Structure 1
Amino acid sequence: MTETTEEFEPIGAGPVATVYAGLYLALKVYPEPVPDEVREEFTEEMGRLALLRGAPILPVDEVLDLPDGRLAVQSELCSPSLAAVLDEHGGLPVDEVVTVGRAMAGALAAAHGAGVLHGGLTPHNVLFGASGSPVVADFGTVLREAAGQPPSAYAAPETVLDGIVNECSDLYSLGAVLYAALTGGPPPAPEPHTTMPAPDRDDVPASLERLVTRLLAHHPADRPASAAAVAQHLENLPAETEPEPEPEVEPEPEPEPARRGRGRTIALAAGGAVVVAAGVVAVLQLADPFGPKVTAVAAESSPAPVQPVAVDLAEPVDGGAHVDLRWQAPDGFDVAVIVAAEHQPTKVHLVSRARSTRLPVEPGRTYCFQVQATDGQRTVESTPRAIRGATCRT
Structure 2
Amino acid sequence: MNALIVGRAIAGLGGSGMYLGSLNLLSITTTVHERPAYIGATGLTWGLGTVLGPVVGGAFSQSAATWRWAFYINLLIGAVFAPVYFVLLPSADPQPNTPPMARIKQLDWLGIILNIGSFVSLIMAINFGGTVYAWDSGREIALFVVGGLLLIAFAVTQAYSVFTTPAQRLFPGEFLRDPFLVMLFAMMAAASTAIFVPTYYIPLYFQFVRGDTALEAAVRLLPFIILMVFFCIVNGGAMSKTGYYAPWYLFGGAMVLIGGALMYTVKESTSTSKIYGYTVLIGIGSGSYIQASFSVAQAKVKPEQIPLAVGYISLAQTGGVVISLAICGSVFLNESVKGITPFLEGVPTAAIKGAVAGSGSELFRSLEGETRRHVLHAIIHAMDKNYILLIVAGAMTVIGSLFMKWEKLFLEAGHAG
Range of TM-score over shorter length: under 0.3
Structure with greater proportional helix content: 2
TM-score, structure 1 length as denominator?
0.21
TM-score, structure 2 length as denominator?
0.20
